[in-house]
Amino acid sequence: MSASLYAGLASRGFRRYATYRSATLAGIFTNTVFGVIISYTYIALWVERPQLGGYGIAQALTFAWVAQALIMPVGLFGGGIVADYSERVRSGAVATDLQRPAPLLAVRLAEDLGRAAYALLTRGIAPMLVGALLFPLAWPSSVSTWLLFALSITLAVVIGFALRYLLGLLAFWIIDTSGPASVLVVLQIFASGSALPLVTFPGVLRRICELLPFRCLVQVPCDVLLREDTGTGSLPLIGLQLLWATTLLGLGAVLTRAAVRTVVVQGG
Amino acid sequence: MSEALRMFGAIAGAWVRAGFTYRTSFVVLTSTGMILTFLDFAIILIMFSHLDALGGFTLTQIAVLYGLSGFAIGVADLLLGNAEMLGQRVRDGTLDQMLVRPVPALVQVAADRFALRRVGRVLQSGAVLGWGLSAAPIDWTPLRVLVLASALVCGSLIFASLFVLGGAFQVFAGDASEVANAFTYGGNTLTQYPLAIYPVEVVRAVTFIVPLAFVNWYPALYVLGVDDPFDLPAAFQVASPVVAALFVAVAALTWRTALRHYRSTGS
Amino acid sequence: MPMIDVHDLRRTFLIRERRGVLRRTRREVQAVDGITFSVEPGEAVGYIGPNGAGKSTTIKMLTGILVPTSGHLRVADLDPSRRRTELARRIGVVFGQRTGLWWDLPLRDSFELLRRIYRVPTPTYERNLSAYVGLLEIGDLLGQPVRQLSLGQRMRADIVAALLHDPEILYLDEPTIGLDIASKQRLRTFLRELNADRGTTILLTTHDLVDIEQVCRRVMVIDHGRLAFDGDFAALHAAGQATRTVVVDFHDEVPPIDVPGSRVVRVDGVRQWLTVPAGTPTGPVIAALASSHEIADLSIREPTIEDVLPHLYARP
């Protein structure tokens, strides 16, 4: 399959979401309000405990706004392109998806990257600008840090997609996926660090969260951004994201093949 | 009013019965819903693993704030949270169907697709509130009991009014439903913490514009016997019933106006 | 006293259009532009017109969903938008494109819920339910959720739902759209009998002139928000110069046929097209054709709204 096909799919994902202009504005407003609320709770915490988790107040506030910016791109609350999947399995429309010449996983990923790009440019960046006006944020000066941050965000989007894709595949085996979907949302919000940086979590809880892929969604990109050194210290973090991305996508590919077999068996 | 409640019961009841056909799904969704709302409190617990007090409030005092706010939005969400879907109803025309039935549209909007699993937030917040009230040092007087009880009712009414206002807004701006979330769920997050951690402008806004402070902050100051760090009039601490009544009136008026300006879809 | 009384009714919509990033223009659209009519109890009235002519806007004002911009409007002596819930008890509404039933509830639960919403006394409910369910043949479907019904089944269920509370007026907005011939026919028969037996006032919007012909004695045509015609079906055909077309294939090529009461409008080989004024029977014409020539095949095409409309405007 040609690269232009996937570029087209990504651009379609982008444009599909770009049509909901007032919804986007509403989302920016809401993300900003939550950013402000969370900022004041972090200020209250870090004023009492300066350097908690190795962050100063400015770093903690930057974390708060980057986490808000990443909510939609990485799909912390679920949704996105793979959300309608169980409906497609039930209606049988999925058979046409599986018969397309391009592999389903790659098609969905391309579309989701387009969606995430739009979410990042609007609901990611706009609240961040407001946050930067209202609060003293800590921006790195080195270009290499920014480049690694961009790479880390991209990997976070891919991992977020892979998690939702795997959830979508569940629909091939169980009728109602709303239960697992809400469990996934709980894990993504809490264990990603989006509600409170994982560096503040107490011992055991922190170690458990560090074993899970969810920290790659928010905590890891934030750490990449907040590292003050030349950036090479972030390479193990990027490596960790790569590892999770390939593992989850690989699992997705294997399970897609299994899903195709169930459809063939059911004659769907 | 009692007729409206009877109708709410009839419609909601049909949905509860229909929902029980997927019993396991109901149990899973209710419990994950409870976990999800408990996570807010888990975050506060983690914060308190590093702190003794936040904004001058101890953990048990914050449990009272958290419990009151969560209970109030929980009740409002259970009864009126479906107003969130109003934009969708305008788009797919189901609002038209509701308008030609002999039951107030708001009752139908609220009761249609009634989801009993939302009771999870009420139960979870109620448990945290109960723990906070029993563990925090409170000098109980009859008046404090009364203020606490009225806070549960008035807080629910204030959040319910916010849901209605959000629904009315969607009659005009159907796909901008998320703005309402900033006030409802955003308001819930904001009031889980003592207002002492916010700048005075925020406190004024949630006192005089969107009266979220009357959901839990002022009643809790009274019940817990804490001095108002912003030195606003002490009368505010017992004013929740008046404020709630006013806000309900504003919401009802706005809802009526919205329906009279409803344009329906299509030609 | 008329059941529906409308005088100089208007509804304007403000359309905001985005032109470029910041420029916006506002445009006023007269969806309903001063219509006047009244409907007596027990009448069955067809309300037709092209898409966007103002049919739905009128119905939505009559039911109280939309508030009129100006004009006088009374239904069952009530102002619909001000007394909406009170009026709701006395009317039944069926929107063809969407269902008034609950998508995920079994049909029986939907009906039961409507019984409680409309506070229908149990004996009335039982009587109506068994009568209408029988007439519309949906008895076997009562246990199924609405989403599993076919379009035709769902439409019949919707009509039962709209009639459980014995409404004085039944509004039907495009009830036959998308239905197969048999379902359409069953529905028309049912509505005709409902009107005749129970005296229910019917207001029916449709694209299909056959619906009107079989159910309604009176037709109103709306276009660009104004009433273009109000009268009986025969008068509509006369005014609209409506014709039925008889398409005949003869065994051999013959010169254009001259049969009294018809006119040949086209000849193509063995096939000829003859028009007959709508409202007059085609029987004698066909009999005359058959007696003089050998016919291989024959079909009759009914007039459509689109055939009729242009002539209504051509009138002085």
Q: Is residue B266 part of a domain?
A: no
Q: Which of C182, C205, C238 is a domain's end point?
A: C238
- Asked if C65 lies within 8 A of B261 by C-beta distance, the reply is no
Instruction: Quote the Cα angle for A45-A47-A53, to 5°.
Output: 60
Separation of alpha carbons C237 and C209, rounded Å: 10
Separation of alpha carbons B204 and B187, rounded Å: 14
- Asked if B267 lies within 8 A of C105 by C-beta distance, the reply is no
User: What is the distance between the terminal CA atoms of chain A, rounded to a whole angstrom?
Assistant: 26
Judgement on whether residues C210 and C298 belong to the same structural domain of the protein = no
Inform me whether the C-beta atom of residue B50 falls under 8 Å from chain A C-beta atoms: yes
Inform me whether the C-beta atom of residue B176 falls under 8 Å from chain A C-beta atoms: yes
Q: What is the per-residue pLDDT for A224? A: 93
Q: What is the per-residue pLDDT for B51? A: 92
Instruction: Quote the Cα angle for A54-A191-B34, to 5°.
Output: 130
- Phi, psi of C300, rounded to the nearest 5 degrees: -125, 130
Task: Give all strands of the β-sheet with C295-301 in edge-to-edge order.
Answer: C263-268, C271-277, C243-250, C295-301
Residue A25: CB atoms within 10 Å: 18
Tokens 């959720």 identify what position?
A: C145
Judgement on whether residues C84 and C136 belong to the same structural domain of the protein = yes
- Torsion, Cα of B26, B27, B33, B34 (10° steps): 150
Of A207, A216, A224, A208, the residue nearest A243 (C-alpha): A216
- Asked if A45 lies within 8 A of B33 by C-beta distance, the reply is no
Structural domain that includes position C75: 4-238
B142 by Cβ neighbours in 10 Å (0-12 / 13-18 / 19+) ranks as exposed
Judgement on whether residues C233 and C245 belong to the same structural domain of the protein = no
Of B158, B84, B74, B66, the residue nearest B117 (C-alpha): B74
Inform me whether the C-beta atom of residue B1 falls under 8 Å from chain C C-beta atoms: no
Per-residue pLDDT in tens (0 to 9) along chain A, 268 residues = 578 888 888 888 888 887 778 888 999 999 999 999 999 999 999 999 999 988 999 999 999 999 999 999 999 987 655 555 666 666 667 777 766 767 888 888 998 999 999 999 999 999 999 999 999 999 888 888 899 999 999 999 999 999 999 988 888 888 777 778 888 988 999 999 999 999 999 989 999 999 999 999 999 999 999 876 555 678 899 999 999 999 999 999 999 888 877 776 554 4
Which residues of chain B are within 8 Å of residue C169 when distances are taken between CB atoms? none
Q: Which chains touch C (3 or more CB pairs under 8 A)?
A: B
Name the DSSP class of B207: I
Q: How many domains does chain B have?
A: 1
- Torsion, Cα of B77, B79, B80, B85 (10° steps): 80
Q: What is the per-residue pLDDT for B266? A: 47
Inform me whether the C-beta atom of residue B45 falls under 8 Å from chain A C-beta atoms: no
Judgement on whether residues C106 and C214 belong to the same structural domain of the protein = yes
Residue C132: CB atoms within 10 Å: 21
- Most distant CA atoms of chain B, gap in Å: 64
User: Which chain C residue is nearest to residue B112, measuring alpha carbons?
Assistant: C102
Q: What is the per-residue pLDDT for B35? A: 83
Inform me whether the C-beta atom of residue A176 falls under 8 Å from chain B C-beta atoms: yes
AA identity, residue A148 = L
Q: What is the per-residue pLDDT for B91? A: 84
Q: Is residue B177 part of a domain?
A: yes
AA identity, residue B133 = L
Judgement on whether residues C220 and C254 belong to the same structural domain of the protein = no
Instruction: Indicate the pLDDT class of residue C286, thresholds 50, 70 and 90.
Output: confident
Instruction: Quote the Cα angle for B260-B261-B267, to 5°.
Output: 115
Decide: C67 and B260 in contact? Cβ < 8 Å: yes
Which residues of chain B are within 8 Å of residue A52 when distances are taken between CB atoms? 50
CA A240 to chain centre: 15
Inform me whether the C-beta atom of residue B10 falls under 8 Å from chain C C-beta atoms: yes
What is the per-residue DSSP string for C103-118? Answer: TTSBHHHHHHHHHHHT
User: Which chain C residue is nearest to residue B257, measuring alpha carbons?
Assistant: C67
Alpha-helical runs (H) found in A81-191? 85-91, 94-99, 104-119, 125-134, 143-170, 178-190
Separation of alpha carbons C11 and C67, rounded Å: 8
User: What is the distance between the terminal CA atoms of chain B, rounded to a whole angstrom?
Assistant: 35
ipTM for this model: 0.92
Choose the closest CB to C57 out of B14, B103, B267.
Answer: B267
Which residues of chain B are within 8 Å of residue A40 when distances are taken between CB atoms? 193, 197-199, 202
Inform me whether the C-beta atom of residue B228 falls under 8 Å from chain C C-beta atoms: no
Judgement on whether residues C195 and C294 belong to the same structural domain of the protein = no
Judgement on whether residues C53 and C175 belong to the same structural domain of the protein = yes
Which residues of chain C are within 8 Å of residue B94 when distances are taken between CB atoms? 98
Interfacial C residues in 90-149 facing B (CB < 8 Å): 91, 93, 95, 97-100, 102, 104-106, 109, 112-113, 116-119
Q: What is the pLDDT of residues C119-168, one digit of tens each?
A: 999 999 999 999 999 988 899 999 988 888 888 899 999 999 999 999 99
Paired tokens of B259:
């329906």
Q: How many domains does chain C have?
A: 2
How many contacts, defined by CB atoms under 8 Å, are there between A and B? Answer: 96
Q: What CATH number is associated with residue C275?
A: 3.30.70
Instruction: Indicate the pLDDT class of residue C283, thresholds 50, 70 and 90.
Output: confident
- Asked if A45 lies within 8 A of B35 by C-beta distance, the reply is no
Q: What is the per-residue pLDDT for A235? A: 87
Burial B215-248 (b: 16+ CB within 10 A, else e): bbbbbbbbbbeeebbeebeeebbbbbeebbeebb
Q: Is the pLDDT of residue C260 over 90?
A: no
Q: Is the pLDDT of residue C315 over 60?
A: no
AA identity, residue B131 = W
Strands (E) in chain A, as ranges, are: none
List Cα–Cα distances, C211 to C86, C229, C299, in angstroms: 30, 17, 20
Inform me whether the C-beta atom of residue B262 falls under 8 Å from chain C C-beta atoms: yes
- Asked if C13 lies within 8 A of B97 by C-beta distance, the reply is no
Structural domain that includes position B235: 2-260
Decide: B67 and B122 in contact? Cβ < 8 Å: no
Choose the closest CB to B50 out of A41, A45, A205.
Answer: A45
- Asked if B50 lies within 8 A of A179 by C-beta distance, the reply is no
Q: Where are the domains of chain A?
A: 3-266
Of C165, C42, C156, C146, the residue nearest C92 (C-alpha): C165
Separation of alpha carbons C110 and C98, rounded Å: 15
Q: What is the per-residue pLDDT for C316? A: 39
Tokens 């770093």 identify what position?
A: A59
Choose the closest CB to A179 out of B28, B47, B176.
Answer: B28
Inform me whether the C-beta atom of residue A34 falls under 8 Å from chain B C-beta atoms: yes
Choose the closest CB to C31 out of B92, B104, B267.
Answer: B267
Q: What is the per-residue pLDDT for A267? A: 47
Choose the closest CB to B186 out of A33, A52, A176.
Answer: A33
What is the per-residue DSSP string for C130-182? Answer: HHHHHHTT-GGGTTSBGGGS-HHHHHHHHHHHHHTT--SEEEEESTTTT--HH
Separation of alpha carbons B24 and C283, rounded Å: 66
Q: Distance from B14 to chain C by nearest Cα, in Å?
A: 7
For chain C, percent of residues with pLDDT exceeding 90: 45
Q: What is the pLDDT of residues C40-87, one digit of tens each?
A: 999 999 998 888 888 889 999 999 999 999 999 999 999 999 999 999
Judgement on whether residues C140 and C263 belong to the same structural domain of the protein = no
> Which one of B100, B101, B263 makes the best mutation probe of the C interface by having the most chain C beta carbons within 10 Å?
B100
Judgement on whether residues C218 and C296 belong to the same structural domain of the protein = no
Q: What is the per-residue pLDDT for A1? A: 53
Q: What CATH number is associated with residue C23?
A: 3.40.50.300
Residues linked to residue C301 through DSSP beta bridges, in sequence order: C245
Residues 6 or more apart from C271 whose CB is under 8 A from it?
A: C247, C248, C249, C250
- Asked if B39 lies within 8 A of A186 by C-beta distance, the reply is yes
- Asked if B264 lies within 8 A of C85 by C-beta distance, the reply is no
Q: Which of C238, C272, C304 is a domain's end point?
A: C238
- Asked if A48 lies within 8 A of B22 by C-beta distance, the reply is no
Which residues of chain B are within 8 Å of residue A208 when distances are taken between CB atoms? none
Q: Which of C180, C209, C238 is a domain's end point?
A: C238
For chain C, percent of residues with pLDDT exceeding 70: 97
Paired tokens of C310:
């242009």
Inform me whether the C-beta atom of residue B209 falls under 8 Å from chain C C-beta atoms: no
Per-residue pLDDT in tens (0 to 9) along chain B, 267 residues = 788 899 999 999 988 887 766 666 777 778 878 888 888 899 999 999 999 999 999 999 999 999 999 999 999 999 999 888 888 888 888 899 999 999 999 999 999 889 888 899 999 999 999 999 999 999 999 999 999 999 999 999 999 999 999 999 988 876 777 889 999 999 999 999 999 999 999 999 999 999 999 999 999 999 999 999 999 999 999 999 999 999 999 999 999 999 998 988 643
Of C291, A47, A216, A212, the residue nearest B55 (C-alpha): A47
Which residues of chain C are within 8 Å of residue B100 when distances are taken between CB atoms? 63-65, 84, 88, 91, 93, 100
Judgement on whether residues C214 and C126 belong to the same structural domain of the protein = yes
Inform me whether the C-beta atom of residue A44 falls under 8 Å from chain B C-beta atoms: yes
- Asked if B92 lies within 8 A of C98 by C-beta distance, the reply is yes
Kind and range of the H or E run holding B22: none
User: What is the distance between the terminal CA atoms of chain C, rounded to a whole angstrom?
Assistant: 32
Kind and range of the H or E run holding C39: strand C23-39
Which residues of chain A are within 8 Å of residue B210 when distances are taken between CB atoms? none
Q: Distance from B13 to chain C by nearest Cα, in Å?
A: 9
